[in-house]
Structure 1
Amino acid sequence: MNVAHDFLVAISKSFGLFYLIALSAAVLVYAYWPSNKQRFDRAAQSILDDEDKPWR
């Protein structure tokens, strides 16, 4: 089985491109999923609640 190096490079680059596109789409779907809004809002406010106290 004699496969040219250029062919393998093209296949690996294409696979990597589609892999990163799919991963990015999955992250966007997770971030904008409606049921995660409450979790993200709570996490954003918890940081502010901890730091909103005077220093002694």
Structure 2
Amino acid sequence: MTTSTYTWLAQFAQSTGVLYFMGVFLAICAYALWPSNRARFEEAARTPLRED
């Protein structure tokens, strides 16, 4: 009985973790590719090339 409960909880935790990290990954991708963030990222990309 306890092994089936453990197995069920382990599978539940694994599937929940996959869904959680997939959601985080998609949110990060959406933030990085959002059109209004383009200017901010382009400015950050030019920072090392700027002369002081």
TM-score, normalising length: structure 2: 0.86
Q: Structure 1 residue runs of 4+, over 6 Å off? A: none
| Gapped regions of structure 2 (runs ≥ 5) | none
Partner of 1:38: 39
Which entry has the higher C-alpha Rg, 1 or 2? 1
**Deviation, structure 1 residue 47:** 1.2
| Gapped regions of structure 1 (runs ≥ 5) | none
1:12-37 Cα shifts (integer Å, max 9, x gaps): 00000000100000000000000000
> Which amino acid is the alignment partner of residue 24 of structure 1?
F
When you count helix as a share of all residues, which structure comes out higher?
A: 2
Aligned length in residues: 50
Partner of 1:22: 23
Distance 2:37 2:28 in 1: 12
Cα RMSD, aligned residues only: 1.7
**Matched-pair identity in %:** 32
